[in-house]
Amino acid sequence: MAAAALAVTDELALPLRAVGDLAAAAGISREEVVVITQCATLGGKLPFDDASVGAVLSVIKKAESFGDQLVAEVSRVLKAGGIVLVQSFTPSSEQKPNNYIERQLLMGGFVEVQTSATSSQDSVQSVTIKAKKPSWSMGSSFPLKKATKALPKIQIDDDDELIDEDSLLTAEDLKKPQLPVVGDCEVGAAKKACKNCTCGRAEAEQKVEKLELTAEQINNPVSSCGSCGLGDAFRCSTCPYRGLAPFKLGEKVSLSDNFLSADI
């Protein structure tokens, strides 16, 4: 048997008004409520299928009636996420019954247990305790979120206004150009060292030609081509005087310090 709502009471007689109030509190029209009285005498089961009832409204006179078995039954017949409303009447002097009911609900596996404000009628206090059956069913599982961090999303202010400039380049553009192959023997050919060479190529380029100057060549420079004295602009690539200042043929050549110190 299924129902939108089930009203359960330990009393023999239950006024419709009470049912109506609770139904309203549960958001259900009272026409849909099935009422069971004298629940304490049921001897166990409520005549309903598992998870067949949307809400259980119970009006309890004696707190003890809300025992473990009743609580278990209420839980059984309730659909996942269904609510239970328990209204109990206590003489104003007693506090305990509310706590008892709350604890019963908690122990019975209900969540979001809330006790609402009390209302007094004829020196008797009534308290409505609301609880919910958890929305997960038994045996269900879901994976825990991994504890990995995620990269923050980056807010680029004018992302919307501007196109992505990297999209302007094709795969072809990203390739390096084919350089003409030139004999690598000479300085100044093919691949040159970068301006800020740190890998050592620049130094290697510098070492390409190491020309020795004899003492004779320093003291009495002669030049078969006639250009050696004119300066680097005119000297051949093999000129021993390359790197020196211009000089007059026959006069002693002044050397810069570099030529006298050993190369590393």
Partner 1 sequence: MKRFWRYLLKKDLGARWLEGFRYAVFGLGDSGYQKYNFAAKKIDRRILQLGAEPIVEIGLGDDQHPSGYEGALDPWLLSLWKSLNQANPSLLPRISDIINPNLNNLGDAKIDVIYYSSDDAPQDSIVSDSKKLIERARSISPALKFHKDGEPQYMLKMVTNQRLTNEGSDRDVRHFELEDPSSAISYQVGDALEILPSQNPSAVNAFIERCNLDPDCYITIRAKGGDQGSKGSTVNGLTDRIKLKTFVALAMDVASASPRRYFFEVMSYFATAEHEKERLQYFASPEGRDDLYQYNQKESRTVLEVLEEFPSVRMPFEWLVQLTPPLKKRAFSISSSPLTHQNRIHLTVSIVSWLTPFKRTRHGLCSTWLAGLSPNEEILIPCWIHKGSLPPPHPSVPLVLIGPGTGCAPFRAFIEERAAQSVTELTAHVLFFFGCRNEDSDFLYKDFWLNHAQDKGVLSLKEGGGFFVAFSRDQPQKVYVQHKIKEQSERVWNMLCSGAAVYVAGSSTKMPADVTAALEEVVREKGGEAASGWLRKLERAGKFNIETW
Strand pairing class (78-91; 53-60): parallel
Interacting residue with partner 1 among 179, 185, 215, 262 (CB under 8 A): 179
Q: Does residue 180 belong to the site contacting partner 1 (CB under 8 A)?
A: yes
Neighbours of 66 (CB within 10 A): 26
| Cα angle: 177, vertex 179, 184; to 5 degrees | 150
Q: Does residue 11 belong to the site contacting partner 1 (CB under 8 A)?
A: no
Q: Does residue 230 belong to the site contacting partner 1 (CB under 8 A)?
A: yes
Q: Does residue 259 belong to the site contacting partner 1 (CB under 8 A)?
A: yes
Distance (Å, whole) CA 15 – CA 120: 17
| Residue bearing tokens 């690598």 | 184
Among the candidate windows 20-28, 41-49, 97-105, 150-158, which touches partner 1 by CB under 8 A?
150-158
Query: Given the complex with partner 1, which of 66 and 247 has the nearer CB atom?
Result: 247
181-210 positions binding partner 1, by CB under 8 A: 182, 187-192, 194-196, 198-199, 202, 205-206, 208
Exposed, middle or buried: residue 101 (CB in 10 Å: 0-12, 13-18, 19+)?
A: buried
Q: Does residue 216 belong to the site contacting partner 1 (CB under 8 A)?
A: no
Query: Given the complex with partner 1, which of 93 and 261 has the nearer CB atom?
Result: 261
Distance (Å, whole) CA 158 – CA 31: 60
Chain-centroid distance, C-alpha 2: 44
What is the smallest separation between the CB atom of 197 and partner 1, expressed in angstroms?
9
Distance (Å, whole) CA 254 – CA 13: 129
**Helix axis angle, 68-77 to 96-107, nearest 10°:** 50
Q: Does residue 258 belong to the site contacting partner 1 (CB under 8 A)?
A: yes
Query: What one-character DSSP code corresponds to residue 72?
Result: H
For 164-171, the CB contacts below 8 A with 24+ separation are none
Query: What one-character DSSP code corresponds to residue 88?
Result: E
Size of site (CB under 8 A) for partner 1: 51
Interacting residue with partner 1 among 120, 123, 141, 155 (CB under 8 A): 155
Q: Does residue 214 belong to the site contacting partner 1 (CB under 8 A)?
A: no
What is the smallest separation between the CB atom of 145 and partner 1, expressed in angstroms?
15
What is the smallest separation between the CB atom of 175 and partner 1, expressed in angstroms?
9
Q: Which residues bind partner 1 (CB under 8 A)?
A: 149-152, 154-158, 160-163, 165-166, 168-169, 173, 176-177, 179-180, 182, 187-192, 194-196, 198-199, 202, 205-206, 208, 230-234, 237, 242-243, 246, 256-259
